[in-house]
Structures are given as structure tokens and as C-alpha cells.
Amino acid sequence: MVEVQVSKVQAWQKLAQQLRIDSIRCTTEAGSGHPTSSMSAADLMAVLMEKYLRYDFDSPHNPNNDRLIFSKGHAAPLLYSFYKAAGAITDEELMSLRKNGSRLEGHPVPEILPWVDVATGSLGQGLSMGTGMALVGKYLDKLPFRTWVLLGDSETAEGSVWEAFNTASFYKLDNLTAIIDMNRLGQRGPTELQWDSAEYAARARAFGWHAIEINGHDVEQIDKAFAEAQTVSGKPCVIIAKTEKGHGIALTANKDNWHGKALSKEQAEAAIKELGGENNLTVKVQKPASTNFKNEKAKGSLAAPAYTGPVATREAYGDALKALGSIRPDVVVLDAEVGNSTYSEKFRDAFPDRFFEMYIAEQQMVGAAIGMSTRGKTTFSSTFAAFLTRAYDFIRMGAVSRAKISLCGSHAGVSIGQDGPSQMALEDLAMMRAVYGSTVLYPSDAVCAYRLVEDMADLPGISYMRSTREKTPILYKADEKFPVGGSKVLRSSDKDKATLIAAGITLHESLKAYEELKAAGINVRVIDLYSIKPVDVKTLQQAAKETGLLITVEDHYPEGGIGEAVAEAFSDEKATLPRLVKLAVRIMAGSATPDELLDSAGINAKHIVNAVKKHLA
């Protein structure tokens, strides 16, 4: 029995050395990368892959597969060396690291690599995404997979990491194991806590986690820690592993100023010799138990809403979520403790098992949604639009992950009134338009909002809907369709001298202005630009050709909002640039009534009328 154990220890050590050597080889070949950050965690990954990970590399979409997230995404050379040892990639492909056209980018990216669930590299995000996966496994699909998240010690200074610690504890995610690679050195010197594993453990325990402190280069201690983690019930587990950055060679072990630096060819040759020489070990990673599990599909279509009097679009958002939940078992909703304002509580009350309260932790909310989406869930996350700015890096990385998530931001613009500027989203359209592949929607009545939520459930990438706090009149019949990329021409004639383009609260102000202008003998066109991205190029270009003057009106700062979305419709070199006037919020608003603020910002009916008359004079 002892001989077998000794043999196993030696095998783990040999595998770990191979992972280190391959991390050096591929980064030296690339001329860049992070070999020393990879070398510190090699022993941890060697034991994990040989004994504890359950993963079918031939079937990465097997729902029973364990999930492995490298939150310290810069340790990608280790991950790719791991894949080589598992037989998933060849040595030739490993040596293509960071080269143009290679699947092995500087930080891991899904889609091009089927074994990667989420993009990492912007530190502090992997654990939040891991909680989303663990929530699905424990509460929704009830599957036996475990989620393993490798964190760097530097990234534990990120508040988002502790948002994830808090959420994982609250939801008792005993199927989640975090591994902190405590290698002491960050990019420019020592980390905040260096090798103070007791302090890491105290913080983790304060959040309700089971904490284990080990020597991260002692494979027997690693083995025992992983075994213990799997026996913990009712709480998540964190393994705090004391390691050396650049471990294994004298040149880099625990040496500063080696972060993100590849070894020269001569240094690499010496290092490989010091580590025992190249190996090509292949590990047969254990596969998970087979399963017949499949995500349930939709069970019909949504009934038409029966709205009569004025309804806030934020309330229609809640109505649509509830209706979607009744026909789509894959729909999951998250909120940041404002469900009674975003109206996501309507879904919560109807489907409590598929609603997850993230409390006031917007980064965690978006991260968990991204993690859930990798497990086949259609997620909707909501909060005040202003507070989504806190989660913007998660949203940006969600796009890099090719994640499919839907977001709703309520309480947008100065029209929210007396709450004041801290609550007023005036940047959100610009923020969301800038996200790669995003869809940005801005309904002006409840019918439109309801139908757009229905569409969002099947949109690819990151989709965002801006909802309005105030109740607004119903503009459309229940059976109206709102194709993404479209718009609605609400008022028009062959005598129109200008076109008013708006969405949300300012569309209703534009309709008031239309009536006043019509009474004065001035004909204008009114367009509901409910799709901000993609924008309705054809309709806008036609309006410019036929009326000559476009006036955009928005409850948003002028940078990046509706005005600039309209201008983009004329960016084609063949398009004729129209006269474009942008009415937008150009003040720092304070507390006042919605009507007072719309007037102060110059975006109410009075100012629209004045702008039309001024520019037609």
C-alpha cells in the first residue's frame, strides 16, 4: 500500500514538472506570456486532473462534467499544458500559443476552445461565474458535477471576489471549491497578504466557507485537501495553497520581476534540464457518470398582454418575465435587491425556484448570470440602470465569453425625478452600445416592452433593455410586432419638414410636440426608435431624404446615446449626411419633479417645439 502511494506521489510530481516545462516551452516559443504564474499552480492541477476531476474531453457539453475555471486567466499556459496532458490538444498546437489564428490565445476564450466555459483574464471574475454554475448544479438541474475555480492571490483584493464568497456561502454551495494559488508575488511586487494563509482562511471562514491551508507544492497535502473538500456539506470550500511563483527553477522561484515574462531560449533550455527534461505524459482523466439529462424546451408562445391605461415599461418587464417563465423552463431571473422596483418580483413570486436574489452585488449578479448561461439557462438580470455601471467589466467580459445574457436597467434618465443624480442612468445607452455584439432596446410603452422581453430570450450575445420608471400611455395594440433592428413611424405625412426621433419618456414628449406643431401648421414625422442597436438604417435614411432635418430627443447624455446611434445610420460612405440636431441632457440634474427636470434638461415638448421652429426658420 505504501509502495502504491509512493508511486502515485512520484507520478503526480512528474506530471507537475511536465506542466511546468510545457508552460515554459510554449511561452518561450511565443516570446511572451506568464510562465511563472503557471508554474506555481502546477502541482495543484496535476493532482486535480489525475484523481479528482471528472471530465469527458471528447464530450465537453456533457452536463455531468465538472467545471474548471482559471480565474487567474493569465495562467493560460498551465491550462493549455493541462489540455495537452489530457490528450485534448497536441504538442504542436501547444506551441502555437499566442500566434495569429491559434486557438490558444493569451487568456482562455470559449467557443474557439470547447473546454473553456468563460473568458477570464480580467481578474476577480471567475469565482462569480463559478457560483452561477454551482447554483445550476445544486438547485436547478440537480446534477453531481463540482465547480473548481483557481484564483490568484492578487485578485482576492477585488471586491467582486468577496461578493462571490458571500453569495456562495448564502446559497450553501457545497459543490464549489475555490483554490487560491498563494504565490506571494503580484505583477509589480508582493501581494497584499503575501503568504499569510491564516488571514485568508480567517476571511473565508468569516464569510461562512470551509477553509483548508496547505503547502501547494506537497502533492500529498493537495490530495488530502481535495478529498476533504468533497466531504464538506452545507458550505463551499476554499483551499489556500502556499506556493512559489516560478517554482521549480532557481532563476525564477519566488523571484520578483518575472511576472508576464517569457524565458529566453537559453534560459528555457537550462530550466527544462533543471526540471528533469521534457516528458510527454498523457493522463486519462476520469469521465463523469452518464446521464440522460436535457434542458427543457419552450412549451408554447406568450399570450398577448391586455394593457389599457398607462403602465410603466419596468412593470411590463416583470409581466413578460412571469409569462416567459410559464412556458420556458430554461428562464432564470436574478435581481440586485430591487425586484419591487424592476418588477422581477412577479417572476419570483410565480417561480421562486428559478429566481436568485443577488442582493446589492451587481458584479456578482452579472457574473452568476454568465455562469448560468454556460449551463444552458436563459438568464435575465435586473437592477437600476445606473448601478449596472458597477458591473460593466463583467458585461464586457461576458461579450468576450460569447455569453448569452439579458439585462434590464430601470429608473433611467432625469425623468425619475426627486431621487436625484445618483440614481439617474444617463450613460447606460452609451455603455451598452459599446459592448461587442450587443443589442440595445428602449421601449416606449408596455406592449413594446413586453414583446421585446420575449425577443430577448432568444437573442445572441449581450442584450440590454432600458426601462422607464414613470407610467406611460399605451401606444400599440397587443398584437403589434417589434422586430429587433426596426422602428415605428408613429406620425408622418408627405409634407413633413422635420423628423423627431426618440424613445422612452421623450417619445411621449415628442408626440405632445407633434400636436402643438401641427396646430401651428408645421408637419413633422415622429419615429419610435425602440431598437437603439441595431438601428433602423433604412427608415432613418428615408426620413432624412424626405424631411431634411432630424431631431433626436433623449433622456441621456449626448455622448453615445440615441443621437449618436442615429448618426451611425449615415456612416456608410454612400449615405448623405442629414441635418442632425441632438436634444439631450447637458446638465447635472438635481432633485425635482420629473416635469421640472425634463424642462431643465431641455428635452420636453416645449423645447422640442422650439428646436423645430428654430431650425426650420
| Rg, the chain, Cα only | 28
SS3 596: helix
- What is the full DSSP assignment across 425-463? BSSHHHHHHTSTT-EEE--SSHHHHHHHHHHHTT--SEE
Q: Model pTM greater than 0.85?
A: yes
Give the angle 7-9-11 at the CA atoms, nearest 5°.
70
Strand 462-466 vs strand 439-441: parallel, antiparallel, or unpaired?
parallel
Q: Which domains are seen in the chain, by residue range?
A: 2-274 (3.40.50.970), 313-466 (3.40.50.970), 488-616 (3.40.50.920)
Average pLDDT rounded to a whole number, residues 249-267: 97
pLDDT of residue 402: 96
Q: Is there a contact between 320 and 302 (Cβ–Cβ < 8 Å)?
A: yes
Cβ neighbourhood burial of 192 (10 Å; 0-12, 13-18, 19+):
exposed
Q: How far apart are the first and last CA of the chain?
A: 96
pLDDT of residue 138: 98
Mean pLDDT for the chain?
Answer: 96
Q: Show the cell assigned to 611.
A: 428646436
Q: What percent of the chain is predicted at pLDDT more than 70?
A: 99
Per residue in 442-496, pLDDT (tens digit) is 999 999 999 999 999 999 999 999 999 999 999 999 999 999 999 999 999 999 9
Q: Specify whether 362 is catalytic.
A: yes
Sign of CA dihedral 395, 119, 217, 207: positive
- Residue 296: pLDDT band (50, 70, 90) is confident
Q: Which residues of 478-578 form beta strands (DSSP E)? A: 488-491, 498-502, 524-528, 531-533, 549-553
The neighbour count for residue 478, using CB atoms within 10 Å, is 14
Q: Spot the catalytic one: 50, 244, 362, 554.
A: 362
Comparing CA positions, the residue from 13, 29, 54 lying closest to residue 223 is 13
Question: Is the peptide bond between 534 and the residue preceding it cis, with omega within 30 degrees of 0?
Answer: yes
Chain centre to alpha carbon of residue 59: 25
Residue keyed to cell 499566442: 98
Per residue in 392-431, pLDDT (tens digit) is 999 999 999 999 999 999 999 999 999 999 999 999 999 9
Per residue in 126-148, pLDDT (tens digit) is 999 999 999 999 999 999 999 99
